[in-house]
């Protein structure tokens, strides 16, 4: 029995020693793994440190080149004569990535981008010209079909199949000329019918206008004398009242436009006698009011900029980054401004952000083509860029040009107020709108609002 106990104790002691040995080996293995992981972490930290040190050294070496490159970008954006910045080889990852982003932003100013824009403009001009030719064809076609349903319709059916190039869809000028030549006999008959009413219409003119038409070859001496004779036979009481009313309208037109030619007076008198000498109506009036509103708003912005630049030269551009912000934020900044310089700058940006945006353009009711609307919205978007002052003056000049075209086109068509005509004359002088005669030829136009006549990067030319 004692022998069995001794054996059991020896066995247990042996098992305990084996467990201890095994645990010791496990501890040694864990320690080795921990040491290995620590070594790996240390190496990773050393690599990160080395990369950070290398990046820091690269940034130090690139600092001057980065400064020069940033200055070159700023000069390019502010001065249109400066060349586009070229590619740069930065050692620093940070500077290299930032430069790549900068070059992507400048891509719109590259030679290729400029060429694409020019091509798009040229294509649009071609389409506009084609649309006008097609309109001329359709108008003539409608006229000759109405005058001669048989021959006119036959001509139209023939040339409507030949007038367009099947590949480009554009009007073929030679075919349009052939059509006009073929339609000439029918057009001459139409003109002959109009001539039957010539003398009664001439009788409504004054002697001065009749004689001027004879001298210009618009009608013969015999036709002029016949018209004078018809007029000399006398007018009814109603006709005399109509004549007086129309004469008064001519005088009012002279007060608005200054001196008028005999032909202009006669045209206005004829419209007045026919009760057609009125203010613009319908879509034309809607578009006229929109052009007037937009041009006045843009002009007021230019006046504010000129006044600010006179007091704080070169300061306004530094505030422009805020123009893309919320209008309420701009209002708050204007209220919290501690200097007059800050306050007026924020007020100008607030005025531009509130009144010159796509929503304001839509509210104005301006009737434009999709292409023109894209142009206007693009110009409004430029008011958020690095050339804010030039962009504002460009937009004001283009808006003034649209308004001046309206006034010029309406001169012998609609009755305008003296103020509306005076505003067009003011714009003509202020923005150097070439291609227009003085709107008020008597010299009574008010002086243009004081301010610079420079219009940003562009000179407005009217064909």
Beta carbons of 438 and 445 less than 8 angstroms apart: yes
Determine the Cα–Cα distance for residues 301 and 350; give it in Å rounded to an integer: 10
The pTM assigned to this predicted structure is 0.45
Report the number of distinct structural domains present in the chain: 2
Give the pLDDT confidence score for residue 307 in this predicted structure.
92
Which residues lie below 8 Å from residue 280, measured CB to CB, with a gap of 6+? 288, 410, 414, 416
Q: Which residues in the chain show pLDDT less than 50?
A: 237, 368, 443-463
Residue 65 located in a structural domain: no
Give the pLDDT confidence score for residue 420 in this predicted structure.
92
Determine the Cα–Cα distance for residues 145 and 156; give it in Å rounded to an integer: 8
Q: Are residues 181 and 293 in the same domain?
A: no
Give the pLDDT confidence score for residue 237 in this predicted structure.
46
Residue 136 located in a structural domain: yes
Question: What domain range is 418 assigned to?
Answer: 282-322+351-430
Give the pLDDT confidence score for residue 437 in this predicted structure.
86
The 8-class DSSP code of residue 442 comes to: T
Tell me the per-residue pLDDT of 371-390, one tens digit each, with 9 for 90 and over: 555 555 555 555 555 677 88
Residue 233 located in a structural domain: no
Q: Are residues 165 and 293 in the same domain?
A: no
Residue 174 located in a structural domain: yes
Supply the DSSP string of 298-329, one letter for each residue.
HHHHHHHHHHHHHHSTTTGGGGGGGGGS-HHH
Residue that is last in its domain, among 171, 196, 221 = 196
Residue (of 158, 444, 428) closest to 295 by Cα position: 428
Determine the Cα–Cα distance for residues 226 and 221; give it in Å rounded to an integer: 9
Tell me the per-residue pLDDT of 144-164, one tens digit each, with 9 for 90 and over: 888 788 888 888 888 888 888
Tokens of 48: 């990160």
Residue 392 located in a structural domain: yes
Give the pLDDT confidence score for residue 426 in this predicted structure.
92
Helix spans in 197-311 (H) = 198-202, 207-215, 221-232, 237-257, 262-273, 282-311
Residue in this structure with the two tokens 């064809």, named with its chain if needed? 137
Tokens of 303: 């006046």
Residue that is last in its domain, among 164, 196, 228 = 196
Helix spans in 79-172 (H) = 93-106, 111-147, 151-160
């Amino acid at each position: 029995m004692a022998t069995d106990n001794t054996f059991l104790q020896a066995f247990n002691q042996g098992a305990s020693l084996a467990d201890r040995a095994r645990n010791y080996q496990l501890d040694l293995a864990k320690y080795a793994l921990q040491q290995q992981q620590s070594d790996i972490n240390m190496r990773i930290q050393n690599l990160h440190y080395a990369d950070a040190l290398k990046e820091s050294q690269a940034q130090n070496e690139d600092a001057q080149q980065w400064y020069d490159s940033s200055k070159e970008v700023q000069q390019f954006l502010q001065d249109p004569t400066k060349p586009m910045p070229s590619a740069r080889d930065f050692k620093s990852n940070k500077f290299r990535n930032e430069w790549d982003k900068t070059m992507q932003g400048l891509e719109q100013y590259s030679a290729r981008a400029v060429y694409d824009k020019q091509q798009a403009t040229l294509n649009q001009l071609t389409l506009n010209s084609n649309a006008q030719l097609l309109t001329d064809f359709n108008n003539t076609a409608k006229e000759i079909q109405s005058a001669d349903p048989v021959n006119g319709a036959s001509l139209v059916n023939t040339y409507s199949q030949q007038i367009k190039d099947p590949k480009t869809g554009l009007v073929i000028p030679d075919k349009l000329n052939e059509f006009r030549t073929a339609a000439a006999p029918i057009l001459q008959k139409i003109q002959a019918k109009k001539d039957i009413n010539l003398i009664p219409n001439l009788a409504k003119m004054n002697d001065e206008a009749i004689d001027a038409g004879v001298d210009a070859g618009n009608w013969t001496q015999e036709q002029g004398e016949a018209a004078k004779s018809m007029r000399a036979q006398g007018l009814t009481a109603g006709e005399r009242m109509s004549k007086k009313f129309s004469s008064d309208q001519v005088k009012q037109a002279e007060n608005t436009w200054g001196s008028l030619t005999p032909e202009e007076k006669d045209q206005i008198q004829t419209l007045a006698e026919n009760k057609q000498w009125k203010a613009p109506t319908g879509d034309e009036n809607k578009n006229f009011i929109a052009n007037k509103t937009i041009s006045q708003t843009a002009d007021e912005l230019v006046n504010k900029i000129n006044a600010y630049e006179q007091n704080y030269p070169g300061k306004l551009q530094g505030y422009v980054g805020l123009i893309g912000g919320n209008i309420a934020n701009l209002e708050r900044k204007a209220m919290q401004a501690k200097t007059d310089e800050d306050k007026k700058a924020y007020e100008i940006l607030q005025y531009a952000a509130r009144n010159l945006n796509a929503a304001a353009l839509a509210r104005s009711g301006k009737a434009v083509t999709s292409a023109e609307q894209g142009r206007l919205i693009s110009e409004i978007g430029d008011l958020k860029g690095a050339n804010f002052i030039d962009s504002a003056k460009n937009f004001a000049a283009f808006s003034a040009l649209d308004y001046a075209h309206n006034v010029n086109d309406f001169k012998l068509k609609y009755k305008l107020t003296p103020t509306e005509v005076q505003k067009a004359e003011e714009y003509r002088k202020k923005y150097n709108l070439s291609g227009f005669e003085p709107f008020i030829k008597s010299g009574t136009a008010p002086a243009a609002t004081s301010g610079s006549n420079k219009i940003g990067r562009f000179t407005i030319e009217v064909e």
